[in-house]
Structure 1
């Protein structure tokens, strides 16, 4: 069985699921490809993987999409940031702060862009990185905020 999955899924949800699967089906090999949303769906479309674990795609093509979990967006900022002590924040609260964006190829970027549209905001990222840990490191260094 070959699986393409978002890196965040590979780091969190997939290891215990694969451990349980291998325990129940020890004779079946499992291959994992960590990939951003678009690449994971390309691997599925090209028949390279058997399934893809991604965010809800904009179009399904010939494939079915079954939700398996949901997640919430969280503000990531330096402990001394003015938003750090708030119980919750809205997208509008992010206006005026340097924003660290994930690259447009990421499913996270689609969610943050949609959040800004929903909040009627036009945000120009101060920084743009490819990986979530990179955005978190920049935020922890006080260089901006991210989600």
Structure 2
């Protein structure tokens, strides 16, 4: 391999070549590039030496491009256009003038937590597209770890060494009932109080059900589950219809906007169901993802203060 074959022109050399090709004078090229005339001369000479061919014939008054220069200019200009386009695109991404960000969230949490976040974020950054992956609870962590999304909002069902978590919102399991229910008048409801009460909750093995079954077993209670549902929204309208009380995270019940329901934190034991911002460990967030994380923490921080 000879030197010309191995040679890779620098961007400074290509820009000097383009300027001299069009302006025909070293002085004019130097003024356009904001460098000295001798610097332009050196860059052109380096480029010619590296390519092993003469690009300009020198005259007393100007530089005349050679046939080799006439062939090379199209390639040089294409490279410089691509580089300039790349730089502009990266600046736009950094300045949040374009791009997209994706977030994984379960349908339940998405319904109560994301509307305010998305409204605020899109108002601040209208050129950024927000993509929502409404996945099931068991898929939540894998969507983040597999880099299908930039970040996630939720409660990881298991500790994962390959994710980082930041607490967004404190939450606990609660008993939700109509305001005319016998337990609605109590300031504090224990798991033991649910004995012989018809209970509606999520289906076995899904989402929070293992937590519910574990807490009931710890309290020595056999729950009378009259309806297993897939979506907590289903449990809420069933409660409104008088089919029983429901066990669910308090954040969802309080965020549903159903004013006819009482939400009572369950005690003995209290079961935490805190909500986290989840990212893949060691993965840098894009500027758009970082901006969304700031909005998420701001919006949910206010919700936590008022809950």
Task: Output the TM-score relative to the length of structure 2.
Answer: 0.43
Which residue of 1 is the match for residue 206 of structure 2?
A: 105
| Structure 2 residue corresponding to 1:91, chosen from 180, 191, 198 | 191
Render the CA deviation track for 1:120-141: whole Å, top value 9, x for unaligned.
Answer: 3232522100011111222222
Deviation at 1:53, TM superposition (A): 0.9
Deviation at 1:94, TM superposition (A): 0.7
Q: Do structure 1's residue 115 and structure 2's residue 235 form an aligned pair?
A: no
In 2, distance between residues paired with 1:87 and 1:141? 23
Cα pair 1:3 1:33 within 8 Å, conserved: yes
Please list every run of 5 or more consecutive structure 2 residues that lacks an aligned counterpart in the other structure: 1-100, 248-307
Indicate the structure with greater strand content. 2
Question: In angstroms, what is the RMSD of aligned CA positions?
Answer: 2.1
Render the CA deviation track for 1:84-104: whole Å, top value 9, x for unaligned.
Answer: 222221111111212212123
Q: Which has the higher contact order (CA 8 A, sep 6+)?
A: 1
Q: Which runs of 4+ in 1 moved over 4 A?
A: none
Instruction: Give the aligned length.
Output: 146
Render the CA deviation track for 1:52-96: whole Å, top value 9, x for unaligned.
Answer: 211143121411122111123332223433212222211111112
Which residue of 2 is the match for residue 17 of structure 1?
A: 117
In 2, distance between residues paired with 1:36 and 1:136? 19
Matches of residues 1-147 of structure 1 in structure 2 within 5 Å? 1-103=101-203, 104-106=205-207, 108-123=208-223, 125-147=225-247
Cα pair 1:36 1:105 within 8 Å, conserved: no
Aligned partner of residue 67 in structure 1, secondary structure? strand
In 2, distance between residues paired with 1:52 and 1:118? 31
Cα pair 2:195 2:224 within 8 Å, conserved: no
Please list every run of 5 or more consecutive structure 1 residues that lacks an aligned counterpart in the other structure: none
Cα pair 2:198 2:243 within 8 Å, conserved: yes
Higher mean C-alpha displacement, 5-14 vs 131-140? 5-14
In 2, distance between residues paired with 1:118 and 1:56? 22
In 1, distance between residues paired with 2:177 and 2:221? 19
Aligned partner of residue 209 in structure 2, secondary structure? helix
Deviation at 1:4, TM superposition (A): 1.0
Cα pair 1:2 1:30 within 8 Å, conserved: yes
Indicate the structure with greater helix content. 2
Q: Give 1 or 2 for the bigger CA radius of gyration.
A: 2
